[in-house]
Amino acid sequence: MLSFLLAAAALAPANAPAAHGADTFTLKAAHLRLYGNKVVDGGVVKVEKGKVTYAGDAKGAGELGPDVIEHAGWASAGLVAARTWSGLGGEGLEPKRPFTAEARAADVVALGHADFARARAEGITTMVVALSPANVASGITTVVKTDGETTLARDGHLQLGLSSQALRTNRFPTSYTAAIELIEAELAKPTGVWERVSEGKLSVYLDALSRDEIQRAVALASEHKLTGALLRAPLAGELAGEIKKAGLAVVVGPFGPGEEARVLASVAALGRERVPVAFGLESPTSPEALLRVSAAMCVRAGLDPAQAWEGLTTTAASVAGVGARVGKLAAGCDADIVLWSGDPLQLTSKVEGVFIGGVQHESKGGAGHGGAH
């Protein structure tokens, strides 16, 4: 009996806050990634009732309080995936109707789905659940945390599809012209979700693939003063100037081994032109681990590492419209913190602990451990 208890104690992660009741503690990490390229050695994060009250060096931290967690590796804000299909259970597409602007991902997503547990294991704490690109107006995205219970924003963006995948040959619309006419007709006499879009209260996600599709999407956004981001847009870097002028961001990825060099170079070009870049996923179809792999591959292709880190955190959070709450370790933000074995920008590091809202969550079961679902 005693040996069982001892064994059980040995299995408990050494870093777990020992029965600290509410989500209040202080974290001391050997290295703290704050934002951009800013790394603080011997950093401290103070968490009170699930919110960060201080994040910085040990000197400015003052009293550390009773509950102190020491971590010998790195700590950072939880990663934000600006696009994913996690939690939808394959229900993200209404194939018969091309125009389902009022359909909400929030109505379909299962917050407790195993997809989110896998995402947590990769250090992702916030995700924008988007819909299929195969519709001209697929619906409204939602922004959730991967803790199985929190919705950050019920309505994230109106997702519009302007790629050839949104068109069909056997149902209306079959042409780009008609697709754009549909959208413009709605914006001319906006009701419902369109009203919020035309008033600037809701941003859009514009899915486009080829360069002429990107051009059409950017023209649409410019003309109607839409805010938001392009999705996918593989060679967007070759149109970086136009995208910058339109004030749009780009959600790129996911990229895996063997991705074309020209596409990765395009991301680097976007970075150089200061177009905000965020990384996205197509999970669960592709693995959640690709979020950081995409960032690493873009860095190798020339993207500034600071911009790559922002693309995983702050920029992705602001594209998701929740930049005030998540994406960085700063006073007032949610205590979504990930403990890493090394620098999270490097693929040689892995997740060692995940806190969401100051509460530690199970973070095993990602690509590091076998077993498909």
Partner 1 sequence: MAAATLAAAGESKDQTSWTISAERVYTATGKVIEEGRVTVEDGKIRSVSKGGSGDLECYAITPGLIDLSVRIERDLASIEQSREITPEKRIADALDWFDEAWKREARSGVTSVMINPLERQVVGGLSVVVKTAGESAQKRTVKADSALYGAIGSAPSQSNHPAFGRPDDFYSRRPTTRMGVEWEWRKAFFDAAMAREDKNLAGPGTLELQKALAGDLPLCIQAWTTQDIRTAVFLKEELAREGLGKLRLVVDAAAEAWKEPELLVRSATAAILPPFNATGRSGDGSFFALDTAKVLAERGVTIALSGHGARAASERLCYQPGHAMRGGLAFDAALAAVTINPARIAGIDKRVGSLEAGKDADLVLWSGPPFEATSAVIGVLVDGRLVLDPRTQNK
Partner 2 sequence: MRRTTRYALLPASWGAAGPGASALLAIPSLVAFGIAALPSLVLGDEPAATPKDLFIRAEQLHVRPGRVLERGMLWVHEGQIVAVGTDIKLPEGAVVIEGKVVCAGFIDSWSAFALEPNAQFDDRAGPATRAVDAVDSYVDVRHERALLAAGITSVRLQPTVGARAGGVGAVLRLHPSKSFAETTVIADACSATAIGVSRGDGRALDVFERVSAVDRVIGAIADGHAYLVETNEYRHELADWEKKIADKQKELDDGFKKAKKDREKAQTEAKDKGNEFKDKEYKEDKKPKAPRFDEEKEIYARIAAGELPLVVEVHRALELRALLAGTKRFDRLRLVVAGASEAAQCAELLAERRIPVIVWPVPMGVQRAPEYRGASLALAAELDHAGIEVLLGSGAMDPLASRDLPLLAALAVGHGLPRETALAALTTRPARVFDVADKLGTLELGRSADVLVLDGDPFAATTSVRYVLSAGELVVGEVKK
Q: Does 236 bind partner 1 (CB under 8 A)?
A: no
Q: Does 3 bind partner 1 (CB under 8 A)?
A: no
SS3 sequence of 205-240: EEEECCHHHHHHHHHHHHHCCCCEEEEECCCHHHHH
Residue 104 interacting with partner 2 (CB under 8 A): no
Q: Is 369 in the site for partner 2 (CB under 8 A)?
A: yes
Check residue 232 for interaction with partner 1 (CB under 8 A): no
218 part of the interface to partner 2, by CB under 8 A:
yes
Q: Which of 326, 339, 359, 342 is nearest to 125 (CA)?
A: 326
Which of the ranges 16-24, 44-52, 208-216, 306-314 carries the binding residues for partner 1, by CB under 8 A? 208-216
Question: Which residue, 54 or 176, has its beta carbon nearer to partner 2?
Answer: 176
Q: How much helix, strand and coil, in percent to the nearest 5, is found in the chain?
A: 30, 25, 45
Residue span 264-283 as binding mask against partner 2, x where in contact by CB under 8 A, dash where not:
-xx-xx-------------x
Question: Is 177 a binder of partner 1 (CB under 8 A)?
Answer: yes
Binding of residue 176 to partner 1 (CB under 8 A): yes
Which range binds partner 1 by CB under 8 A, 5-13, 149-157, 207-215, 307-315? Answer: 207-215
User: Residue 186 in 3-state DSSP?
Assistant: helix
Q: Mapping DSSP to helix (H, G, I), strand (E, B) and coil, where does residue 247 land?
A: coil
284 lines the binding site for partner 2 (CB under 8 A): yes
d(CA 42, CA 364): 26
215 lies in the binding site for partner 1 (CB under 8 A): yes
Q: Are 23 and 47 in contact, with CB atoms under 8 Å apart?
A: yes
Which residues, in sequence order, are bridge partners of residue 47? Answer: 25, 52
**Nearest approach, Cβ of residue 114 and partner 2 (Å):** 9
Q: Does 57 bind partner 1 (CB under 8 A)?
A: no
In terms of Cα–Cα distance, which of 192, 130, 185, 190 is closest to 160? 130
The one among 286, 323, 330, 359 contacting partner 2 by CB under 8 A: 286
